[in-house]
Every structure is written in structure tokens, then in C-alpha cells.
Copies of this chain bind each other. A is one copy, B any other.
Amino acid sequence: MSTPPREIRLNAFAMHTITHQSPGLWRHPRDRSREFKRLPLWLDLARLLERGLFDGIFLADVLGPYDVFGGDARAAIRSGAQLPAHDPMLLVPAMATVTQHLGFGITASLSYEPPYLMARRFSTLDHLTDGRVGWNIVTGYLDSAARALGLDAQRAHDDRYAYAEEYMDAILALWRDSWAPDAVRADAQGYADPDRVQVITHRSPNLRMQALHLCEPSPQRIPVLYQAGSSSAGQAFAARHAECVFVSGPSASVIAPRVAKLRTALRAAGRDPAAVKVSALATAIVADTDAEARALLDDYRAHVDPEGALVLLSGWTGVDFAGIGLDDEVRFIASEAGRSAMENFTRADPSRAWSVREVAAHVGIGGAGPVFAGSAATVADAMEAFVDATGIDGFNLAYAVLPESFEQVVDLLVPELQARGRYKTAYTEGTLREKLLREEVLS
């Protein structure tokens, strides 16, 4: 008996900003990113993604400008590279008004907000969305954010994860234990039963809290927990807490061992390795024919702002690429860290020489993930191969042009994947967690 093909799940990857993963593309004549700060774009996008049966929209966030490139934020300001960075959470209630099933994965750093208030925000959203929220737990990685919040620099990496563990203890206790499932009575006795609501006391080296949770139990009680860190501490954290993990890298050969390592860590932590859904960053450029898709990709690449791409790359790697000429060959970059960071992306085609400009143009469409360009059949082939080679559950799809990139996926790619029996044909009912844990309806 052959096992049925694995379902491929899709999430949209976006951010409340002018430039997320494709710097310069806001200048493309069909791109709507300039409307990022107002609601209509997001309502249209939410409706489109639900029509395409996406699991959810995943909203990235940063709390400071990318200021590694050139040592300040000037290039980020000029290129709009993830700056402005408006609050992502405030988009969700509006998108919830026009959808019934779409999930909302929201990035929020635990470094600067007490668990008591964070718990309230997520429980409030879980009620307002009828149980469709997820929390992408980050600890922050920008010194600029730490300075904005009154510190000289961020905590050291491993200290951030130690604090994150204390934080999770406190916030999970608020969600799980403060209100019993049947605490709300709304009967002749009163609204809630005082014997079923309790104060949570938390005392750990860096965190004190003595609190009732301010919200009554929400449909999911705890938002679906997402994690995206790739460090050892991040992976250990994910093995303990995450229900969804995002990975990013330029090719299946980079991703496969990370997924295997994560599944091993899950097993070691006593969890079912298959219970965690893993999504890989990717961008799909889909057209009626391969030739049209290639022409689209060439058009998009021509709109990339190379400096904006290097701003992001500098922020992600910590290497300042400002001093390096765009036409220099990557293999001759003097700094070993810089060369190594760049060469990671040349693995997309190791057979030829790459200039800095070419890496920037490559990274400039969809960031650190692969780009699948072609007809629906070609892209579906590539995705199936990627999924089968890596053991991921699906993709976190970045965009080149907003919302055109998602329109291509919904209108062309999704029907192709459905025809292959690798994509759901309807949402199942229930909360986001229930949708993620159940097998969806394949045709």
C-alpha cells in the first residue's frame, strides 16, 4: 500500500512595511506596497488568501531599523528596507472581519513587553478572530531596538533565550491556569466563579509577576506557537514550545539537514516530531508558461534596489557590506565573514562566478529563500521535489509584487496542486490549531 502524497501547506509571508523581502519592488508599476499603511490593501489580501485556502498570513516584525550597513540607518531609510515598521498586530482585527478561516501568525518580541500584557493582547485577538491566532516568538536581534527601549544594547544571545524560558513559564501559566475552562458561568450566581479563577505567582531571576489573567478563556486559550530561530538555543526553544517552525535557506540541500535536526530534537524532547509543522521560505513566480514566468522574474529583478538588498543582508548576517563594490566578485571579498555570508546565496548556482550585485539581485526577490519561477506545472514540480527532499510541510511564501505574487499562486498554482492531490480543496472547521493538526480535505 503506498502512502498518499504529503499535503503541501501554504502561508503568506508579509510585514506591515513598504519593503519586506524584495527591496525596490515597491517601485514596480503593479505593486501596491505604497498602500501598506491603510486598510484596503490588507482586506483585499486577506480575502485573496482565504480564496486560495492559505493556512494563514504570517506577519514579520522588527523593532528597529537595519543599521549594520554603513553603520547607520540611512540606507534603510532611503530604500525603505523594513522601515517604516508599523505594528503588525493591529492589522489582524480588520482582516478578521472579512475572513472566516485564515490564520494570523504574528511576530512579537518578548524582550520588551511584560507577559501580563502580551498574554492579554493575544487572548483578546484569539477571541476576536474566533481562535485563529498564532504567536511567532522572537527575542529580537537588533541593537537599535534595544537602544530605543532604554538599554545600551540587546542582551547576549543565550541570555535572551534564558529569559525567554522564564517568560514562557509565566505567560503559559496565565493562559493555562488562571481561569479554569468552566470559570465563566454567566448564570444566576454571577458572571464568573471566583473559585475557578486564580492569581498566578511567578518569581524567577529576571521576572516577577503576581496576576490574574485579564481575559477569560479564548477558543484556543494559547495561540499557536511559532518559532523561526536557527541557532542552537533557538532550536532547543523550538523543540520545547513550537507548534510551527519557519526555516529559510537558498536550497533543499541547506534546509533538509535543519529539518532533520529539528525532528530529532523534538523526539529527544519527548514530542511527536510530526506534530510540528515546518514551513520553508520561498517565492513563487507563476505564469501561463515558463517563458512568461521567466520574463516576469527578469522584470522583477530589474526593479530590485541592490543597496536595499545589502541593507537586509547586513542586518541578517551582522556583516557591513557597505564598503564592498557592487561589481566585485564574491569570491574575492576580503572579509571571511562577508565572503561566507555571500557564498551561502551563490549556492543557488555554484558553477559560475557571482558579483555582489548579482547576489543582491538574487536575494532581492524573496530574501533568503529559493525562487520557483515557471508555469503552474513547473512550480508545482519544484515544490513537490523540495518538500519530498526536505520533509517540510509547506511554504511560507514571500512576494515580489504585492498582491500580484499571491494572485498568481491562488489562481494558477493552487488548482495545479489540488489536481495533484497535494493541496486541500476546502478548509476544515475549527480553530487554527485544529486546522493545523487535522489532515485537511484533499480531493
Contact = CB atoms under 8 A, between A and B. Distances in A.
Given A150-B209, A212-B73, A194 B78 contact: yes
A149 B116 contact: yes
B191 A80 contact: yes
Given A39-B97, A128-B94, A150 B114 contact: yes
B43 A97 contact: yes
Contacts of A127: 37-38, 86
Contact of A26 (B90, B191, B199): B191
A377 interface: no
| Copies of this chain in its oligomeric complex | 2
Interface stretch (A118-126, A244-252, A334-342, A410-418): A118-126
Given A93-B94, A116-B149, A215 B124 contact: no
Nearest to A87: B124
Interface in A208-251: 208-212, 214-216, 218
A316 interface: no
Given A73-B212, A193-B78, A39 B149 contact: no
Given A83-B214, A191-B26, A112 B114 contact: yes
Nearest to A43: B97
A339 B96 CA distance: 49
Given A38-B127, A39-B93, A73-B212, A79 B190 contact: yes
Contact of A120 (B39, B87, B144, B192): B87
Contacts of A322: none
A357 interface: no
A91 interface: yes
A387 to B, nearest CB: 35
A97 B90 CA distance: 12
Contacts of A149: 114, 116-117, 209, 211
A216 B37 contact: yes
Interface string A178-205: 0000000010011111100101000000
Interface string A384-427: 00000000000000000000000000000000000000000000
A300 B193 CA distance: 24
B90 A211 contact: no
Given A37-B127, A83-B212, A93-B93, 15 more contacts: A37-B216, A64-B214, A75-B194, A77-B190, A77-B191, A77-B212, A78-B191, A78-B192, A80-B191, A86-B123, A90-B128, A92-B93, A116-B148, A150-B207, A190-B305
